[in-house]
Amino acid sequence: MSTVIYLNGEYLPLEKATVSVEERGFLFADGIYEVLRLYRGHPFQLEAHLQRLRRSAQGARLPLPQAVPDLPAIIERLAAENDLHDTSIYIECTRGAAHPRTHAFPAEPHPTLLVMPQSIYTLPADAFTRGVSTVTVPDLRWRRCDIKSIMLLPNILAKQQAREQGAFEAIFVRDGVVTEGSSMNTFAVIDGTLATHPADQGILAGITRQVVLALAAELGIAIGEQTFTLEQMYNAQEAFLTSTSAEVLPITQIDGRPIGNGRPGPVTMRLVEAFRQKTGGWR
Ligand code: PDD
């Protein structure tokens, strides 16, 4: 059975859903997106994702389609029609098709709204017990990484470089400071404090990041939403990544060096467990 998706007011089989070649998302990457997760059929942190979608739209000066308030109902219908339980949902909103191709906004934009289920990518079987390895790459992105833009070439190149170097994730470094991963936020335990880059324009304010910070506070873990350098990360006691797809994922290697004793640390594992309890788990 083919997957049913939502495109501009219609529910269609995936193969039947098409957009114009003049779509500005295609020509300019003129759009924003969200990825959220269903656990046993229920969206996790839906309101936070929708809020971030609205913030991204504001940052991109993108008129949101009228159907945006219906997103909870659209997601519910897609979950029912596709019999979805544990999956992710991809939402994309662009400035739509316009003629001729000019950089400035079209006088009458017809924004596109796409909502489609995506299977959760599979992590290496031992990822949570052995951790993953990472490599660092220069953060060459623009200075509005808080906008969840579909313009992801630097992230794609970074992730591919990581894969070609046998690593799971690429970690961006700007002016010696660790910002975030190519598709995940980065945390490190430094001198007993859990550090992560502040949610400013230098990173995407991850929803998982926010949940993890709240869980850490509940667990009495010392938190510092402050930047740390690559040198500090090399010498960190522990480190981990967070994202909607990867949840809380221990990092045990960076640039070929072990983090701490080269095994997932105790603070990380408490948060892996606390996060799993919060979502109700899926495995
Ligand atoms: N990635 N940083 C970047 C650059 C990201 O692209 C993402 C999410 C995150 C983590 O955000 P969250 O916890 O809200 O998923 C951080 C999504 C999942 C993606 O691109 O598929």
pLDDT at 52 over 80: yes
Asked if 270 and 151 touch (Cβ cutoff 8 Å), the reply is no
Give the CB-side neighbour count of residue 259, counting CA atoms within 13 A. 31
Spatial separation of the C-alpha atoms in residues 184 and 141, rounded to whole Å:
15
Any residues with CB less than 8 A from the CB of 272 and at least 6 apart, and which?
128, 240, 247, 248, 249, 250, 264
| Residue 183 CB–ligand 1 contact under 6 Å | yes
pLDDT at 251 over 70: yes
pLDDT classification of 123: cutoffs 50, 70, 90:
confident
Cα–Cα distances in angstroms (integers) from residue 265 to residues 66, 240, 272, in the given order: 46, 9, 10
DSSP single-letter state for residue 15: G
pLDDT (tens digit per residue) in 54-64: 999 999 999 99
Active site residues: 148
pLDDT at 283 over 70: no
Element (H, E) at 115: strand 112-118
For residue 69, the CA-to-ligand 1 centroid distance in Å is 22
pLDDT (tens digit per residue) in 190-215: 999 999 999 999 999 999 999 999 99
| Residue 184 CB–ligand 1 contact under 6 Å | yes
pLDDT classification of 167: cutoffs 50, 70, 90:
very high
Indicate the range of 122-131, 203-212, 231-240, 260-269 predicted with least confidence: 122-131
Give the CB-side neighbour count of residue 203, counting CA atoms within 13 A. 30
> What is the percent of the chain where pLDDT is above 70?
99
Give the CB-side neighbour count of residue 48, counting CA atoms within 13 A. 14
pLDDT classification of 40: cutoffs 50, 70, 90:
very high
DSSP string, 74-104: HHHHHHHHTT-SSEEEEEEEE--B-SS--SS
| Residue 245 CB–ligand 1 contact under 6 Å | yes
> What is the percent of the chain where pLDDT is above 90?
95
Spatial separation of the C-alpha atoms in residues 273 and 176, rounded to whole Å:
32
| pLDDT given at position 275 | 97
Mean pLDDT, the chain, rounded, equals 96
